[in-house]
């Protein structure tokens, strides 16, 4: 019998890669998405496959699934700053009510539950790199608060279900990830820089570009998530690539890789934009035997090829 997995947010960027990966590993996948930020294009190639089902559903409403489930992977949420600023209430609802419903269906089906959490739980961190033991530095009432606090609540209710109902739950703290199927208009730095470079438009640096991020390629991310869902760990685990770079340097690398003539221009830094971000991945290395394999430039080349093929060679 194939293991049955429900993936909420399965038509999103990481969700759809997880659908692909788990189908490839022999799971039966049920994908639920309300398509506010996800898109059918991400899962078009899976429709009609025997072991894949799509359900258009908003998981802030009660979730009904026929038959058994072995895993519930809760990935539904707007996840880019531009998206969660556009949908602040939906973001808070999917992190709170949606997580409650996803935990409810996992409890009913006696399934393992995995929450897609985020490095944003660390806020604008005072510790760098961030280990899982760091409690974070978050502004609950700032513009990013809707996402950060929704995910912090989601972690909290997940641990409450683990403790009160003895459920087997997992929490992955996902750091910046990139790869094919990112939306060109999701506002994140890598799609912005790549599309600007490919068009020869100015590359928009927010602030002075000295803030740092660490970018993980999506194939490494889904492999780490798969390892975590089959591990014995119930505490949060960081998954990300610790190759930390200043944003200005990322712009230069993308400019070089695309051969763009673009200049860089400086714009206002968004409120509460974290100054630094880098995962401490000792825990994932030790307990999941996971380490990212795709280097920054190699991953960026693949993401650039995706955007190029999608928009500029067609
Ligand atoms: N950023 C930028 N130019 C852009 C988009 C983003 O300089 O066109 C910066 C942003 O201010 C942040 C970093 O790049 O410091 C990463 O932003 P992103 O939206 O990708 O995700 P975040 O890590 O902030 O959630």
> What is the pLDDT, as a whole number, of residue 209?
98
Q: Is 147 a catalytic residue?
A: yes
What rounded mean pLDDT belongs to the chain? 97
Rounded-to-integer distance, Cα 192 and Cα 198, Å = 10
Residue of 125, 203, 247, 253 to test ligand 1 pocket, by largest number of atoms within 8 Å of CB: 247
Residues 121 and 138: their CA atoms lie apart, in Å, by 7
Atom number, ligand 1, closest to the C-alpha of residue 144:
25
Q: What is the mean pLDDT of residues 190-212?
A: 98
0.85 exceeded by the pTM? yes
Res 60 pLDDT > 50: yes
Cα(233) to centroid of ligand 1, in Å?
31
Quick one: pLDDT at residue 314?
44
CA of 295 to the centre of ligand 1 (A): 20
CA distances to 68, 86, 173, 218 from 111, rounded to whole Å, are 8, 33, 20, 25
Q: Rounded to 10 degrees, what is the CA torsion of 7, 163, 170, 25?
A: -60
Looking only at the bridges linking them, the beta strands covering 203-206 and 264-267 are: parallel
CB of residue 183 inside a 6 A radius of ligand 1: no
| pLDDT of res. 313 | 54
Structural contact between residues 188 and 80, judged by C-beta atoms closer than 8 angstroms: yes
Kindly state the average pLDDT of the residues 232-243.
98
Confidence of residue 312 (pLDDT cuts 50, 70, 90): low
266: left (phi over 0), alpha (psi -120 to 50) or beta: beta
Give the residue with greater pLDDT, 310 vs 139: 139
> Which conformational region is residue 265 in: left (phi greater than 0), alpha (psi within -120 to 50 degrees), or beta?
beta
**Contact (CB, 8 A) for 134 and 122:** yes
Ligand 1: residue of 182, 204, 206 to mutate (most ligand atoms within 8 A of CB) is 206
Q: Is the CB of 188 under 6 A from ligand 1?
A: yes
Complete domains list, the chain, with CATH: 4-177+216-239 (3.40.50.720), 183-213+243-275+294-308 (3.90.25.10)
Residue 204 Cβ inside 6 Å of ligand 1? The answer reads: yes
What percentage of the chain exceeds 90 in pLDDT?
Answer: 98
Distance CA 196, CA 202 (A): 6
Q: What is the pLDDT of residues 81-128, one digit of tens each?
A: 999 999 999 999 999 999 999 999 999 999 999 999 999 999 999 999
Helix (H, G, I), strand (E, B) or coil at 236: strand
- Between the CA of 100 and the centroid of ligand 1 the distance, in Å, is 30
The single residue of 84, 147, 161, 217 carrying the catalytic annotation is 147
What is the predicted pLDDT for the residue at 219? 98
Question: What are the DSSP calls for 8-58, one per residue?
Answer: ETTTSHHHHHHHHHHHHTT-EEEEEE--SS--GGGTGGGTT-TTEEEEE--
Residues 133-154, mean pLDDT to the nearest whole number: 98
Cβ–Cβ < 8 Å for 290, 283: no
- What integer pLDDT is reported at residue 311 of this predicted model? 78
Cα dihedral 138, 144, 145, 147 in deg (nearest 10): -110
| Pocket lining: 270 vs ligand 1, CB cutoff 6 Å | yes
- Per-residue H/E/C for 129-179: CECCCCCCECCCCCCCHHHHHHHHHHHHHHHHHHHHHCCCEEEEEECCEEC
Please name the residue whose Cα sits nearest to atom 13 of ligand 1.
189
Q: What is the dihedral of CA 270, 217, 120, 64, to 10 degrees?
A: 120
């Amino acid at each position: 019998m194939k293991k049955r997995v429900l993936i909420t947010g399965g038509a999103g960027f990481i969700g759809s890669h997880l659908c692909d990966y788990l189908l490839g590993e022999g799971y039966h996948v049920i994908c639920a998405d309300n398509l506010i930020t996800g898109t059918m294009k991400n899962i078009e190639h899976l429709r009609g496959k025997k072991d894949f089902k799509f359900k258009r559903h908003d998981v802030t409403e009660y979730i009904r699934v026929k038959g058994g489930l072995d895993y519930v992977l809760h990935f539904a949420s707007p996840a880019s700053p531009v998206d969660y600023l556009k949908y602040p209430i939906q973001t808070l609802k999917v992190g709170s009510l949606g997580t409650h419903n996803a935990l409810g269906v996992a409890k009913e089906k006696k399934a393992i539950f995995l929450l897609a959490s985020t490095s944003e739980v660390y806020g604008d961190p005072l510790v760098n790199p961030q280990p899982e033991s760091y409690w974070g530095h978050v502004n609950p009432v700032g513009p990013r608060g809707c996402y950060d606090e929704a995910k912090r609540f989601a972690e909290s209710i997940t641990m409450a279900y683990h403790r009160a109902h003895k459920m087997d739950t997992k929490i992955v703290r996902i750091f910046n990830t990139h790869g094919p199927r990112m939306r060109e208009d999701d506002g994140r730095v890598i799609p912005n820089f790549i599309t600007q470079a490919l068009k020869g438009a100015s590359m928009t640096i927010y602030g002075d570009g000295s803030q740092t991020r660490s970018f993980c390629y999506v194939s490494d991310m889904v492999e780490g998530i798969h390892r975590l869902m089959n591990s014995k760990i119930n505490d949060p685990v960081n998954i990300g690539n610790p190759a930390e770079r200043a944003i200005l340097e990322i712009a230069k690398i993308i400019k070089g890789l695309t051969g763009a003539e673009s200049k860089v221009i400086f714009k206002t830094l968004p409120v509460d934009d974290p100054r630094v971000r880098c995962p401490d991945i000792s825990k994932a290395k030790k307990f999941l035997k996971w380490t990212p394999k795709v280097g920054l430039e190699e991953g960026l080349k693949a993401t650039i090829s995706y955007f190029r093929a999608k928009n500029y060679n067609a």
